Each structure stands twice: as C-alpha cells, then as structure tokens.
Amino acid sequence: MTTAAHAAHAAAPAAAAAAVHEVTCSAPVNIAVIKYWGKRDTALVLPTNSSLSVTLSQDHLRSTTTVRCVAADEAGDRLWLNGKEESIAASKRLRNVLADARRLRRAAEAADPALPALAELPLRICSVNNFPTAAGLASSASGFACLTYALHTLYSLPLSVSEASRLARVGSGSACRSLFGGFVAWEMGQRDDGADSMAVQVASETHWPDMEALILVVSDARKDTGSTEGMQQTVETSTLLRERIASVVPRRMRQMTAAIHARDFDSFAELTMADSNQFHAVCLDTYPPIFYMNDISRAIIRLVTAYNRLFIKPVAAADAAGDSAPAATSRGYRAAYTYDAGPNAVLYLPREHVTEVLGLVNHFFPPPAAADHAEYFGRAASAFLPAVDPAKVAALAAQIGFAPFPAGSLQRIISTHVGDGPRVLARGHVESVSLLSATGLPASLA
Amino acid sequence: MTTAAHAAHAAAPAAAAAAVHEVTCSAPVNIAVIKYWGKRDTALVLPTNSSLSVTLSQDHLRSTTTVRCVAADEAGDRLWLNGKEESIAASKRLRNVLADARRLRRAAEAADPALPALAELPLRICSVNNFPTAAGLASSASGFACLTYALHTLYSLPLSVSEASRLARVGSGSACRSLFGGFVAWEMGQRDDGADSMAVQVASETHWPDMEALILVVSDARKDTGSTEGMQQTVETSTLLRERIASVVPRRMRQMTAAIHARDFDSFAELTMADSNQFHAVCLDTYPPIFYMNDISRAIIRLVTAYNRLFIKPVAAADAAGDSAPAATSRGYRAAYTYDAGPNAVLYLPREHVTEVLGLVNHFFPPPAAADHAEYFGRAASAFLPAVDPAKVAALAAQIGFAPFPAGSLQRIISTHVGDGPRVLARGHVESVSLLSATGLPASLA
C-alpha cells in the first residue's frame, strides 16, 4: 500500500463515519490521597468535604466506552458493561447522567438550529474495563468518567472539562476526579444545586514525572459495607466526622496542594498516610463500625512505616504543625500507603525506590506458589529484582514484629504511574476501535 | 474445739499480729466502657478526659498484696511481684506512690504524736495476680489499686477512698477506678496538681446485679504499641482526639451515668460499643497508626452486631440524639463489646443471655481441639450448653459473612460479673493469708 493509498484508506472510514454519531473514549482510575467520605446531598452527590487524588496511567488501568446515537425508531437506550447488558432503568445514577447530558445538548440545539438533532435519539453504550474484577478496584470512577467524556465529546457540550466533571459526579462522586490527568482536586462547592462541586486539576501528569504507584491486591473474598451505604452511616453516626470535615480536611487540602506544587514527597507522604488513617478511623467511629482493612492490610502499613523509619528522623505529622509550609529540607520518606474502601494497599513512591520496595514486599508477602510471574507482577515483572539487602530485611523484621506471610497473601501487584486524563480514541465509527459493531450491538458479541 | 476455744484461737493470732504492722488486701480488675486515652500531665497521670468503668468480680480476677513495715535497720523497700523480686528504683511510678503514701503518713504522725512512727520504716511488698499472664489482661490496674488500698489501710491515712484513689492514679491511671466496686467514674479534674482527679462510685456492685461479663481471650502473640507510649502518640498526632475530649466524652459520661442509674441496657450497650469504636478510631488516627484489634477481634464485633440485630430495630447510636434521655422503651440489645489496648473482647451482657451468647461464640470460635473444658471455659464450664438454635446460627452466618474460625482462635473464655471494691483480707500478720513469711520474704519462697 502506498502512502497516499494508506492515507485515503485511513481517511475513508472517518469520512464515512461522520454520518454515524459515535465516539469512543478511554478514561483512567484515580486513587485519592485526601479521601472523600460522606455526602451532604445524596441525590446530587455533593460531598461533605473536598478531596484530592492522583490519576493513574491508562496504559495499565482504564475503562473504554463507545457511545452512539441510533435512529429514533430503535428501541430506547441500551448499555453493555464488560460484555453483559445492564438495565439502565435500574440505575438512577446512570439515568441522571444521561438526562443531564441530554438536557445540555437540547439547550445547545435550541440555541443553534444548525446542530444535528441528537438529544432525543436513543443511545447505545458499550463499556469495558481492562483490569480484572478480582483486583478489587472500583471501576465506577473510570467508568462514569469515560461515559461522561464520551457524551461530552459526542454532544459537543459547551462545557469546560471541570464543568463536564459534574456529570460524572452525579454518576459516582469520585468519578469526577478521573476527568483530569495528574493531580486532581474535587472542590466540594457550596451551592445547593451542585454547580460549583467539580474537579479541577492541581498539577498535570508531567509535573511530577517520577511518581509511581504500586497496587498490592490483598487476597480477601469477604465484602464489607459498600461505600455508598457506608459513608452515609458515617455521616449519621460518627461523632468525629464533623471535626474532619470542618477543620482537618480544609487544612490538608491546602497542605497537599502545596506539597504537590513543591514536589515535596515528605509532606505528600505524611499527608497521604495520615488521611488514609483518618478515613479508616471515621469508618471505625461509625456505628456499627465499618472495617475495610484486614490483618494483611495492617501488616503492609507496619512494613511501610518501618521502611520509612530506616531513613527518616521521627517527626510529628505535618498536621501537628498546623498550617506551616512544607519543611524545607527532605526528611527522607520513601513510600506512602493509602487504602480505599477495601483491603488493597496503594503505595505512592518515587521511581528510584520501586525496585527496593517491590523486593521487600515480595520478601514479606511472597507470591502464590503457582503464580504466573508476568501476570502477578504485571509491568513490574521486568523491573523486579528478587535480591533485597539482608541487613534491611533484618532491621525491618525486628521492627514490624511479624514473619513473612504465607505465599499468596497478595493476589497480584499492579505497577503503574501518574497518568493523563480521558482520551478520545475515535470520533465516528472506527471498526478497529469501536466497541460497537455497525449494527449497534457490542462488537464482542457480533 | 468448743466455740469459746475457737474464738480464742481466732483472736490470738490477731492480737499477736497487732505488733506487726502489716496488711493484706485484694483488689479487682476494671474494664472501661468510656475509655481513658491520653494524659494532659504525664508525671502526675492526669487524663485528657474522664472515663468510666465496670469493676469485675475478685472471685475470678484479682490482685492480692501484703505490705509490711519492717525494722528501720533493715535494708530499704523491697517488692516481689508474682514471686519475682522487682526493682523499685526502676519504677518511677511505684516510687511516687510510696512517696505519696509516706508523705501523708508523716503528716498524720506530726499531727498526732500518739501514732506509731511508721512513715520512715522500710516496706516489704509482695503481690500476686490470680489470672494467667497469657490472658493479656492489664494487671497494673488491680495491682496498683491493691497496693494503694493496702498502704491506705496500713498507714490509716485520713483520706476517703476517692481521695486515696489519687495514689493509685499516680501508679497507673486506670488503677484509680479499681478502688471501688460496681460502676466507677474517674473524674478527670481541672487542677494542675491533680487533687481533683480521682475515682468516684457511680453505682455499687449491687445496683445492677444481673450484669455479666465474658472476656474472650484472643490468641495473638504479637505486641503492638504499649498504652503509655501509644496514648501520648495519639495526643501528639491525632487531629480527631480534641473533638473526642472536648465534646464527645463529656456528653457520653453524662449519658452513661444516666444509663447505669436507670439500668438501661440498650443505652449502656450503644454507648459502650460506640466508645470502644472511637477509642480504636483515635488510635488509627494516630501517626503512625496504632492497631490493637485483629481480624478475630473484628469478627467478634461482627458477630455481636449481627446478634443484636436479630432483636433490635436499627436505630442511630445514642450519640446521634445528642443529650436526650435514654429511650423509655427497650430496644432489645443483648450484648455489648468493648476492647482495651489489645485484641481481647470483653462482652457485657444481662445474665439471661449468657448461655446463648456462649453457645454462639463457641460455634463461630470453637475451642482448641485439646482444650481442657474447665480451664477453657472457667466459671462458664458448668453453665455452658453446647446446643444453639440452628435458625439463629443460620441467620447470623448470613449476616456476618464468615464461616466458623479454626479451633483455637480463642485461647480461653473468662466468665465473670460486676464485683466489689478492694477487700482487707488481714490486718496484721495472719499466716494463712499473708503473702509474706514471718521473716519478711515471700511466703511462696520461704
């Protein structure tokens, strides 16, 4: 094929697809370092406090979604999730997102009659996650971010990405933060209608390029309270949450933003760990108490704490100093843990320490005996060096007070880094990209 | 032996012993339902908040202590604990207690020259606990309470029991609460010198006679942060503790006192469980976080929560209603859990539910295969009925989401009830009672 022919070949489907109103996008996962827990308005998904997260690379964890407008005489909206059709009627949140997007498109069409009439056309939505369900990672954030970004693109909504993040928020609160790459704040806002409750980017994915993440997937079949239900139990019964909302989080949001802007890993680590601890503390202060961490989760905390202690002088947490600026000199933190509403640990750490931390994790939490190396370690499989400094292992073992866990205490390790925001993979129907076949059914089922 | 001879026989040793300045006492363990965690003055052991506990029966758990004044030319003070001599010089707290008691005796002698000069005489102290070290029960509370009560009696100190409790407090904060039976508050006080920081009885051991306690001793060899060190880490780093101190505990002290006076088990149970949760929450909000409960501790919480749910309508915690009076109607709570600085559960429950709760605990946490029945169940061995209602077991299993644990997840079960305060077992040297031989060495070593 000549270059000209190749170009014509590439252009032809795009031109042909122009008539097909379809968009395919991908969107990332995010893991909060200042945690969201509690709604002041459950219908609009307005939080009791602001939160801040790190967006993880779509190269390793992503949702992909195709949305298409079909002819008016087709049956109503349909949705497939990971190859299985889901009831849209059963999900009030999903219906709210679609209704919000259509309302905005309808207004745009009313203002500009030259726009194609898409708002009332039925939608076909097909979405997949590339990470295993067994990983215990919440897919609602990347999923609703992806749907929102795809609708935003399909309908050419006259909104900034921050404004569009409000649609994702209505679908799943923390989804709004996946509308941006890098470091992202969800500003809680003050308004009753939620118009000012949206995501803003604190720093892009290129700002702190050596920030890596390791997700330690903890084997645990048990489910505890779901986060939607759990956070409202905390709002209703915790007598400590109000202090967190009124005083602690506003201060930590300022401190964390400053730490990120200054690439101050010490302050970033202290705040991240303190806020993970406090999130689980208010879960425990809930009645009945909510537990998300298990003995393995806690052993990982002990390991990270002891590992950091090899390098830092003990100092009080950043909070103890109130609103003071981040310390001017490095205190030597190597890694920070954080836990969402489940037992899995997410470690944030500078790239230079990844190999050593992986080696220590692997020493104290050995892989399952029959584990496939590449599958278990993922991206880390090539970087992983099994040799760890015996002196460090001995020093840590003395501090943490536990022997290595049995093989298989972790299910897998996902190695990733800070990543970018949602991507448009195709405008119009591109067969190699679209999740929907030409007939409007999932390509995987065609 | 005639009655007269018997009386003479009994009187003779007492008369002979009068010349020997010696006292033997026993004192109980207490388990807090509103927790003490944090000192505002570490030297004087002044707490950051008031606390409230239940005194457990000395029939099952007790410290016993003999104190004796010996001749001035004997070597200085000596102490034996569980048969082993301990260094008094090494324990600043112990020295403080002895110094306080001597200062008070010295003042009494100065005011009344007729009193024998005991204050400057060397002391022999011998103390034993009747509960196994492996039970993981803090012996410092009963131990310092017993020493205090014995010195108070030996020196005939002109103090009320509340005032005397200040001596125990200086030895070990929560020890002051073991100076009374029944339900006991440690009023934090306001004064810098600690004169108003002491124990007061909220209700006697006869006030709520059907209150029982089950101590589920959880197998766990690991030690975490000691409580003396841990609580000051919380004071220094937790950003939630101030809310607990300033607002939550003062309210709960009032509510708990009212619940006890009204024998309102529902409110007692809700407050007990909520305050245990919150104590562990502020431990988790500490930096680095402190964990005392493990997966078995949490499974017991799930079991108790699910068991109560079989009988109550879900209601918000007592705290949610602010300062309202206890509910007038029973909400049906059957048992309340509380955890001190360790993984062991203490359950408070009305006597009528003990057998069923024991059966359920035994179902989900079976004894070690080789356990000696009497040793494992203690007092409960005779009351224990292995048959449990299969419908209840099924209902609980569905809720708690875990199968019965492996045999031996619990080390033993201590069954006891609310008990009385310290007892004087002998004034003067009574050979059958004293822990010291006539020569001033431990009787067990003589």
8 Å CB contact of A239 and B243:
yes
Using a CB-CB cut-off of 8 Å, the residues of chain A touching B288 are 273, 301, 305
More confident residue, A405 or A136: A405
DSSP 8-state symbol, B134: G
Looking at the complex, report in whole angstroms how far the Cα of residue B295 sits from the nearest Cα belonging to chain A. 6
Residue B265, helix vs strand vs coil:
helix
- Contacts of residue B243 in chain A, CB cutoff 8 Å? 239-240, 242-243
Question: Helix/strand/coil (H, E, C) string of chain A?
Answer: CCHHHHHHHHHHHHHHHCCCCEEEEEEECEEEEECCCCEEECCCCEECCCEEEEEECCCCCEEEEEEEECCCCCCCCEEEECCEEECCCCCHHHHHHHHHHHHHHHHHHHHCCCCCCCCCCCEEEEEEECCCHHHCCCCHHHHHHHHHHHHHHHCCCCCCHHHHHHHHHHHCHHHHHHHCCCEEEEECCCCCCCCCCEEEEEECCCCCCCEEEEEEEECCCCCCCCHHHHHHHHHHHCCCHHHHHHHHHHHHHHHHHHHHHCCCHHHHHHHHHHHHHHHHHHHHCCCCCCCCCCHHHHHHHHHHHHHHHCCCCCCCCHHHHCCCCCCCCCCCCCCEEECCCCCCEEEEEEHHHHHHHHHHHHHHCCCCCCCCHHHHHCCHHHHCCCCCCHHHHHHHHHHHCCCCCCCCCEEEEEEEEECCCCEEEEECCCCCCCCECCCCCEHHHC
Backbone torsions φ then ψ of A6, nearest 5 degrees: -60, -45
Q: Do the Cβ atoms of B287 and A237 come within 8 Å?
A: no
A192 and A273 fall within a common domain = no
Higher pLDDT among residues B64 and B220, named by residue: B64
A363 and A220 inside one domain:
yes
Residues B99 and B135 in one domain: yes
For B207-263, the three-class secondary structure string (H helix, E strand, C coil) is CCCCEEEEEEEECCCCCCCCHHHHHHHHHHHCCCHHHHHHHHHHHHHHHHHHHHHCC
B406 touches chain A (CB under 8 A): no
Determine, yes or no, domain membership for B406: yes
pLDDT in the model for residue A12: 42
B203 & B219 share domain: no
- B208-247: pLDDT as tens digits: 999 999 999 997 665 567 888 999 999 999 999 999 999 9
Residue B418 is classified by DSSP as B
Lowest model confidence (mean pLDDT) among B30-39, B355-364, B396-405:
B396-405
Out of B248, B285, B316, name the one closest to residue A237 (CB): B316
- Sign of the alpha-carbon dihedral angle for A295, A300, A304, A309: positive
Structure confidence at residue B226 (pLDDT): 83
* A247 contacts B244? CB cut-off 8 A: no
Instruction: For residue B61, tell me if it sits in a domain.
Output: yes
Residues 6+ apart with CB under 8 A from A273: A304, A336, A337, A338, B287, B288
B80-86 average pLDDT score = 94
Judgement on whether residues B371 and B429 belong to the same structural domain of the protein: no
The answer on pLDDT for B352 being more than 60 is: yes
Same domain for A196 and A219, yes or no, is no
Residue A254: exposure state from Cβ atoms within 10 A (0-12, 13-18, ≥19): exposed
Instruction: Indicate which CATH number applies to the domain containing B251.
Output: 3.30.70.890
Partner residue facing B401 (CB), from A222, A288, A301: A222
Nearest residue of B to residue A314 by CA position? B288
CATH number at residue A67: 3.30.230.10
Most confident listed range (A380-394, A419-433, B317-331): A419-433
Q: What is the pLDDT of residue B13?
A: 44
Distance from CA of B285 to the nearest CA of A (A): 5
Average per-residue pLDDT in chain B? 89
Q: Is residue B1 part of a domain?
A: no
pLDDT exceeding 90 applies to what percent of chain A? 75
In this prediction, residues A309-334 reach a mean pLDDT of 63
In a domain, B238, yes or no: yes
Out of A244, A285, A316, closest to residue B237 by CB:
A316
Contacts B270 to A, Cβ<8 Å: 287
A435: burial class by Cβ within 10 Å (0-12, 13-18, 19+)?
Answer: buried
Residue of A90 and A220 predicted with greater confidence: A90
Partners of A339 on chain B (C-beta within 8 Å) are none
| Pairwise CB contact (< 8 Å): A284 & B289 | no
Predicted confidence at residue A314, as pLDDT, reads 52
Q: Please give, rounded to a whole number of angstroms, the shortest distance from the CA of B337 to a CA of chain A.
A: 11
- Would you say residue B318 has pLDDT above 50? no
Of A247, A289, A317, the CB nearest to B237: A317
For residue A270, the distance in angstroms to the closest alpha carbon of chain B comes to 9
**Is the confidence at residue B363, as pLDDT, over 70?**
yes
% of chain B residues with pLDDT over 90: 75
Q: Mark which residues 113-142 of B lie under 8 Å from A by CB.
A: none
Binning pLDDT at 50, 70 and 90, where does residue B313 land? low
Residues B109 and B219 in one domain: no
Residue reference for tokens 């494992």: B376
Taking 80 as the threshold, does the pLDDT of residue B165 lie above it? yes
Q: Is the pLDDT of residue A241 over 60?
A: yes
**pLDDT of residue A337 exceeding 90:** yes
The ipTM of this complex is 0.86
| Environment class of A418 (CB within 10 Å of its CB; exposed 0-12, middle 13-18, buried 19+) | buried
Dihedral angle, C-alpha A156, A159, A163, A166, nearest 10 °: -30
Give the pLDDT score at B267. 97
Find chain B residues with C-beta within 8 A of A291's C-beta: 298, 301
B280 pLDDT exceeds 80? yes
Instruction: Verify that B76 and B216 share a domain, yes or no.
Output: no
Closest CA to A376 of A58, A129, A29, A134: A134
Q: Are residues A409 and A436 in the same domain?
A: no
| B314: chain A residues, CB-CB within 8 Å | none
Gap from A403 CA to chain B (nearest CA, Å): 11
Region A392-413: what's the mean pLDDT? 90
Task: Tell me the one-letter amino acid at A360.
Answer: L
- Residues A148, A176: Cα–Cα separation, whole Å: 9
| Statement: residue B340 has pLDDT above 90 | yes
- Nearest CA of chain B to the CA of A239: how many Å? 7
What mean pLDDT do residues A73-87 have? Answer: 93
User: Residue B161 — very low, low, confident or very high, per pLDDT cuts 50/70/90?
Assistant: very high
Closest CA to A350 of A213, A211, A204: A211
- CB–CB contact A244 B247 (8 Å): no
Q: Which two tokens stand for residue A123?
A: 């939608």
| A236 vs B: CB within 8 A | yes
Q: How far apart are CA B79 and CA B87, in angstroms?
A: 7
Chain A hits for B335, Cβ within 8 Å: none
Helix (H, G, I), strand (E, B), or coil: what is residue B419? coil
Which chain A residues are within 8 Å of B316, Cβ to Cβ?
236-237, 287
Is A6 within the bounds of a domain?
A: no
Please give the Cα distance from B388 to B385 (Å, whole number). 8
Nearest-angstrom CA–CA distance, A30 and A55: 4
Q: Is B443 helix (H, G, I), strand (E, B) or coil?
A: helix
Helix (H) or strand (E) holding B313: none
pLDDT of A98 above 60: yes
Contact status of A405 with chain B (Cβ, < 8 Å): no
> Of the candidates B274, B281, B301, which has its C-beta nearest A281's C-beta?
B281
Residue B426's pLDDT is 97
Residue B375 lies in a domain: yes
In a domain, A261, yes or no: yes
Angstroms from B330 CA to nearest CA on chain A: 19
pLDDT band of residue A15 (cuts 50, 70, 90) is: very low
Number of folded domains that form chain A: 2
**pLDDT higher than 90, residue A271:** yes
Angle (CA) A286 A288 A290, round 5°:
60
Cβ of residue B301 closer than 8 Å to a chain A Cβ: yes
Has residue A308 been placed in a domain? yes
Task: Inform me whether the pLDDT recorded for A330 exceeds 90.
Answer: no
Of B236, B240, B280, the CB nearest to A316: B236
Residue A208 corresponds to which tokens in the numbers above?
């702190």
Position B372 scores a pLDDT of 85
B220/B335 same-domain check: yes
Mean pLDDT of A399-407: 88
In terms of Cα–Cα distance, which of B332, B183, B335, B207 is closest to B263?
B207
For A121, other C-beta atoms within 10 Å of its C-beta total: 18
A331 interfacial to chain B (CB closer than 8 Å): no
Q: What is the pLDDT of residue A315?
A: 52
Asked if residue B410 lies in contact with residue B364, where contact means CB atoms within 8 angstroms, the answer is no
Across residues B363-380, what is the average pLDDT? 86
- A·B CB contacts under 8 A: 108
Which one of B243, B291, B401 has the shortest CB-CB distance to A298?
A: B291
- To the nearest 10°, report the CA torsion of A287, A292, A295, A301: -110
What is the model's pLDDT at position B385? Answer: 58
- Its domain, for residue B36, covers 12-207+420-445
pLDDT higher than 50, residue B15: no
Residue A221 confidence class, pLDDT cut points 50, 70, 90: low
A275 touches A323 (CB < 8 A): no
Q: Of A408, A353, A409, A362, nearest to A386 (Cα)?
A: A362
Residues contacting A337, CB < 8 A, separation 6+: A272, A273, A276, A300, A301, A304, A345, A346, A347
Q: What is the residue whose two structure tokens read 């003995």?
A: A295
- How many Å lie between the alpha carbon of B241 and the closest alpha carbon of chain A? 8
B222 contact residues in A (CB cutoff 8 A): 401-402
Name chain B contacts of A298, Cβ cutoff 8 Å: 291, 294
Q: Is A278 on the interface with B (CB under 8 A)?
A: yes
Q: What is the pLDDT of residue A75?
A: 84
Q: Of the given ranges (A247-261, B315-329, B376-390), which has the lowest mean pLDDT?
A: B315-329
- What residue in A sits closest to B299 (Cα-Cα)? A291
**Same structural domain for residues A312 and A387?**
yes
Q: Let me know whether A156 and A282 are in one domain.
A: no
Judged against a pLDDT cut of 50, whether residue B332 lies above it is answered with yes
| pLDDT value of position A2 | 40
Contact A320 B288 (CB under 8 A): no
* Smallest Cα distance from A353 to chain B, Å: 21
> Residue B370: its pLDDT value, please?
84
At residue B150, the 3 state secondary structure works out as: helix
What is the distance of C-alpha B192 from the center of its chain?
26
pLDDT over 80 (residue B89): yes
φ/ψ of residue B432, rounded to 5: -75, -10
Show the tokens assigned to B7: 């009386």
Say if B192 is an interface residue toward chain A (CB within 8 Å).
no
Q: CB neighbours (10 Å) of residue B310?
A: 13
pLDDT in tens, A112-138: 999 999 999 999 999 999 986 655 676
CB contact under 8 A, A243 and B248: no
| pLDDT greater at residue B381 or residue B115 | B115
Phi, psi of A81 (to 5 degrees): -120, 120
Quick: pLDDT tens for A175-197.
999 999 999 999 999 999 999 99
